[in-house]
């Protein structure tokens, strides 16, 4: 199955040529194409594929074609490690995009760092990812940067006096989201009526939601992935809680309208550098191209992948690939930090993160302005 996926994407990436040539630039894509995280991973893969096709149609990178070698890491830490090893050591890609989840990135990114190969995350927002080392990059804005803006906007718009908190306690992303929500609520002096937890794979949240309802909060602050977040919203509405839900990065997807249909997804507040309602020329072009190609609207994750491919292309255009893989991998790493790009997600640049001691520079995080949105009747509306 993997070889067929890889071949199909390679053919799509460089047209009728059919097979990679010596001058082609091989880029690894490690994403969750199956399992619970596939609702993110497939959108991400689509964003990469669309950008690669556009770049190749415009002449590629200094005349060379981009070839995407795509592997399914299934949203699992062990599989992400295996896929990174395959792409880096067997397929000898120049760099690796992915993996999809922060849990997987925490496990697999050290493989890339040790091999002095860029790992570029487009959907990893938990704290600590880029502290792994100086070959670790991401253009996904961290929860620490995004959540205070989301809570602050929601509070000012709705006059929230208190909130209840619900989060997944067995996942790096959702636990990191909780930590950042907690800090933001403390900084903004918003009281918490109760804090409840759940585990990945849970389907019944009525016990936690009933406890939350009993504390009569003005809103629910939710750190969850879509697989659990969608049912949580449905069950909250079934219990008569039509109060706002303030979510993190994992809840920012048009798929929430399918998972929580019939108005259950209304009044969800999320923050992101990207919105489908943002009418810039770059975003409009991306949305139109994506919708035409895939027959569905894009989401934040496809937009970030699309922009990431263009960010890498800008770095590649600044270097001359020598054919010495180790040297070329380092040259790409050295060129990436200075890239500035305005794309579907707006104006972007990197800022350097620190290692876990807090004393030494490490990898690179995204620096972008947040957009706060709220859902109503199957759409996201930007809050000014």
239 and 310 together in one domain: no
222 and 199 together in one domain: yes
* Number of domains forming the structure of the chain: 2
Tens digits of residue pLDDT in 24-61:
999 999 999 999 999 999 999 999 999 999 999 999 99
43 and 148 together in one domain: no
Stretch 343-354: mean pLDDT:
97
Q: Which of the listed residues 272, 293, 315 is the one where a domain comes to its end?
A: 272
Tens digits of residue pLDDT in 217-231:
999 999 999 999 999
Residue at 383 is within a domain: no
Return the C-alpha torsion angle 40, 123, 13, 42, nearest 10.
Answer: -10
153 and 267 together in one domain: yes
Residue at 381 is within a domain: no
Residue at 221 is within a domain: yes
168 and 267 together in one domain: yes
Residue at 11 is within a domain: no
CATH number, domain containing residue 104: 3.40.50.2300
- How far CA 73 is from CA of 33, 96, 193, in Å, comes to 7, 12, 39
**pLDDT at residue 190 above 90?**
yes
Residue at 62 is within a domain: yes
Residue at 10 is within a domain: no
pLDDT of residue 384: 76
Q: DSSP strand E in 229-383: where? A: 245-247, 268-272, 340-343, 346-354, 361-367, 371-376, 379-382
59 and 179 together in one domain: no
pLDDT of residue 7: 47
Tens digits of residue pLDDT in 261-281:
989 999 999 999 999 999 999
Residue at 217 is within a domain: yes
pTM of this structure: 0.89
95 and 117 together in one domain: yes
Residue at 379 is within a domain: no
Residue 247's domain comprises: 144-272
Are 169 and 225 in contact by the 8 Å Cβ rule? The answer is no
171 and 247 together in one domain: yes
């Amino acid at each position: 199955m993997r070889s067929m996926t890889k071949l199909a994407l390679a053919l799509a990436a460089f047209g009728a040529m059919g097979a990679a040539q010596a001058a082609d630039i091989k880029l690894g894509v490690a994403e969750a194409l199956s399992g619970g995280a596939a609702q993110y991973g497939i959108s991400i893969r689509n964003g990469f594929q669309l950008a690669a096709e556009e770049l190749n149609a415009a002449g590629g990178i200094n005349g060379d074609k981009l070839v995407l070698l795509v592997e399914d890491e299934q949203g699992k830490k062990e599989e992400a490690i295996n896929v990174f090893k395959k792409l880096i050591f067997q397929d000898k890609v120049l760099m690796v995009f992915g993996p999809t989840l922060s849990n997987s990135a925490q496990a697999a990114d050290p493989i890339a760092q040790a091999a002095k190969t860029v790992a570029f995350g487009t959907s990893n927002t938990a704290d600590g990812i880029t502290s792994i080392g100086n070959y670790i990059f991401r253009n996904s804005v961290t929860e620490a940067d995004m959540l205070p803006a989301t809570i602050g906007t929601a509070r000012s718009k709705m006059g929230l006096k208190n909130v209840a908190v619900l989060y997944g306690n067995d996942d790096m992303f959702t636990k990191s989201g909780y930590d950042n929500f907690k800090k933001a609520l403390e900084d903004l002096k918003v009281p918490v009526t109760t804090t409840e937890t759940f585990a990945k794979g849970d389907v019944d949240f009525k016990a936690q939601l009933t406890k939350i309802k009993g504390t009569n909060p003005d809103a629910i602050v939710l750190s969850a992935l879509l697989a659990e977040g969608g049912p949580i919203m449905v069950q909250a509405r079934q219990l008569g809680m039509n109060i706002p839900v303030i979510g993190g990065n994992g809840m920012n997807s048009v798929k929430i309208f399918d998972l929580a249909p019939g108005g259950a997804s209304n009044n969800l507040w999320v923050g992101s550098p990207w919105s489908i309602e943002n009418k810039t020329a770059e975003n409009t072009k991306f949305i139109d191209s994506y919708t035409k190609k895939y027959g569905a609207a894009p989401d934040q994750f496809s937009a970030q992948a699309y922009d990431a491919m263009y960010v890498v292309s800008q770095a590649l255009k600044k270097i001359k690939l020598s054919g010495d893989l180790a040297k070329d991998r380092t040259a790409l790493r050295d060129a990436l930090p200075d890239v500035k790009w305005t794309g579907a997600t707006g104006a972007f640049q990197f800022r350097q993160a620190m290692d876990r001691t807090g004393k030494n520079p490490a990898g690179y995080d995204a620096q972008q302005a947040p957009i706060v949105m709220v859902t109503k009747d199957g759409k996201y509306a930007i809050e000014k």
